[in-house]
């Protein structure tokens, strides 16, 4: 997962509203959004290393991870960041307690930004420089740097999310189809960042530019799926749009009733 924007406890009767893109190598096998067998998890699934990049449960738990990009880090890691999501969703620990326990093993993982939450509390941490912190009500946008870093890529998504998208959700006369279309339009934005505003993450400038858009396309790597997730008082509403392969353009519309 490479970019996410969400509103936490901002909208009336919608504690969480989230849009995101998952970017990955096209050849890496994965399963689309579904309810996992023998588990409480609803998520897509990484079929190579296990785990997932984003998921929810009927108990109101949710989690999402993005990679922290550092081209200078050549270390190999045997642990998969996707298992962080699975571990939290299958646990009953409060979000902040889970994050603080994870701190003890965080260097076993390649760089990550992690958000974990339930219906009452949201927590952020990164194993590359951000200790666990409970999030105040507000809008949060993260890509492949720290949340405290103000990349042009995340600044652009924040502007569109706060100025275009969130106001639509506060106007009951706007059709659901129009809201969904707006989410996809924002997530499929291919605007590149100009060279002098690119971050330095240790990769070559051409690749840095390629990865600077919300929606990424290349011969071997890019945006695999887009997500629009909402938490209401009664249920999760999750739309996942496939952006690659035979299912390109197809949308899974999944509702999960809350069991609180």
**Tens digits of per-residue pLDDT, 101-142?**
999 999 999 999 999 999 999 999 999 999 999 999 999 999
Q: What is the pLDDT of residues 141-181, one digit of tens each?
A: 999 999 999 899 999 999 999 999 999 999 999 999 999 99
The per-residue pLDDT for 107 is: 94
- Residues 21-44 have a mean pLDDT of 96
- What is the percent of the chain with per-residue pLDDT over 70, rounded to a whole number? 100
Mean pLDDT, the chain, rounded, equals 96
Q: Assess whether pLDDT exceeds 80 at residue 20.
A: yes
Domains along the chain? 2-150+220-257 (3.60.60.10)
Q: Is the pLDDT of residue 73 over 70?
A: yes
Instruction: Report the length, in residues, of the chain.
Output: 260
* Eight-state DSSP code of residue 165: I
* Predicted local confidence at residue 1, as pLDDT: 62
Could you tell me the two tokens for 181?
């279309």
Q: Is the predicted pLDDT of residue 78 greater than 70, yes or no? A: yes
Helix (H) or strand (E) holding 87: helix 82-89
What percent of the chain shows pLDDT beyond 90? 96
| Interval 190-216: pLDDT, tens | 999 999 999 999 999 999 999 999 999
Do 1 and 30 meet the contact criterion of CB atoms below 8 Å apart?
Answer: no
For 70, 91, 239, 242, the CA distances from 131, given in Å and listed in that order, are 18, 20, 31, 33
Could you tell me which residues come within 8 angstroms of residue 240 by beta carbon, excluding any fewer than 6 positions away? 32, 33, 44, 225, 226, 227, 251, 252, 254
Q: Does residue 246 carry a pLDDT above 90?
A: no
Res 81 pLDDT > 70: yes
């Amino acid at each position: 997962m490479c970019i996410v924007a969400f509103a936490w406890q901002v909208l009336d009767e919608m504690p969480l509203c989230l849009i995101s893109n998952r970017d990955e190598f096209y050849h890496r096998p994965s399963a689309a959004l579904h309810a996992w067998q023998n588990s409480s998890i609803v998520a897509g699934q990484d079929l190579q290393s296990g785990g997932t990049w984003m998921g929810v449960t009927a108990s109101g738990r949710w989690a999402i991870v993005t990679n922290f990009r550092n081209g200078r880090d050549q270390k190999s890691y045997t642990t998969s960041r996707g298992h962080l999501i699975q571990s939290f969703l299958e646990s009953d620990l409060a979000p902040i307690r889970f994050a603080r326990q994870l701190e003890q093993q965080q260097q076993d993982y390649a760089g990550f930004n992690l958000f974990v939450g339930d219906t009452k509390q949201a927590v952020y941490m990164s194993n590359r420089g951000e200790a666990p912190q409970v999030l105040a009500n507000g809008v949060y946008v993260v890509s492949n740097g720290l949340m405290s870093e103000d990349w042009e890529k995340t600044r652009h998504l924040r502007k569109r999310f706060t100025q275009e998208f969130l106001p639509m959700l506060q106007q009951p006369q706007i059709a659901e189809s129009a809201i969904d279309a707006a989410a996809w339009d924002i997530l499929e934005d291919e605007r590149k960042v100009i060279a002098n505003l690119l971050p330095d993450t240790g990769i070559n400038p051409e690749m840095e530019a390629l990865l600077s858009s919300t929606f990424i396309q290349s011969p071997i790597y890019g945006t695999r799926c887009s997500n629009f997730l909402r938490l209401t008082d009664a249920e999760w509403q999750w739309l996942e749009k496939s952006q690659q392969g035979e299912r390109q353009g197809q949308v899974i519309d999944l509702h999960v009733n809350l069991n609180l």
